[in-house]
Amino acid sequence: MKIDGAVALVTGGAQGLGFAVAKHLSGLGAALAIADCNGEALAELPDDWGRWQVDVTQPTDVKAAVAEMVVRQGRIDILVNNAGVIFSEPFVNILNPEGIMHDYRRFRDTLTVNLDSVFIVTSAVVEQMIKCRTKGTIVNISSISACGNEGQTAYSAAKGGVNAMTVTWAKELGRWGIRCNAVAPGFIDIDSTRRAIDESFLKHIKATTPLRRLGAAVEVAQAVASVIENDFMTGVVLNVNGGLTI
């Protein structure tokens, strides 16, 4: 797909990694529709970007917002499911005698924001793609944690589910000319990473990564653009992790 002239919806696109992806796609000529729950961050976006304040875990609100995007911008060619929250909690914590095991509510909340949201937004967008006969493309932002990461039961489960849905949708949606891929970043040097992971562990990550550094947000954005532009790529989970998993 040619990005120049396409309409791209980026969830969580008002800040962090999502903003980097949106900015990169905009620079390549895409018209932007940004869905984010942070109204203050949305207000700071460039004037020519479409913006919708919406909670991507609420199906009714998402469906209404997506329908409005299509009316206002004609169609949605590209969906980047970026919205999510990094969450860490050990499955067993003997230092907390009142709650030794991972809290179930936090497990469910993590799945809701990182997995359910991808299903909810993609359902709304694909419905519009099929109705408008748009041969579109979906890019899900996964994670290196999808293969299982110590201390991240809930987050790993969510991202593993994202990878499974990516492959399933690639198989189902190809008949309508809709492709679905995922980009799985490793440890990226952005605020959310530094809030979730302490500096000593990040030093360990750098030391064990073949490229000896964290990734940059723009490098993830470039990977997103590459799977959008390659029309024979579908069902792929593209790792962008500096070689950490090889």
DSSP element (H, E) containing 140: strand 137-141
Selecting among 155, 193, 205, 225, the annotated active-site residue is: 155
Instruction: Calculate the alpha carbon distances from 164 to 115, 122, 176 in Å.
Output: 11, 14, 20
Report CA Rg, the chain. 18
**DSSP secondary structure string for all residues of 187-239:** SB-SHHHHHHS-HHHHHHHHHHSTT-SPBPHHHHHHHHHHHHH-TT--S-EEE
For the question of residue 104 being annotated catalytic, the response is no
DSSP element (H, E) containing 116: none
Determine the Cα–Cα distance for residues 139 and 126; give it in Å rounded to an integer. 12
**CB–CB of 137/228 below 8 Å?**
yes
Determine the Cα–Cα distance for residues 211 and 239; give it in Å rounded to an integer. 14
DSSP state of 45: S
User: Please, which residues bridge with residue 179 across strands?
Assistant: 137
Question: How many degrees, rounded to 5, is the angle at CA 150 between CA 162 and CA 210?
Answer: 85
Which residues are designated catalytic? 155
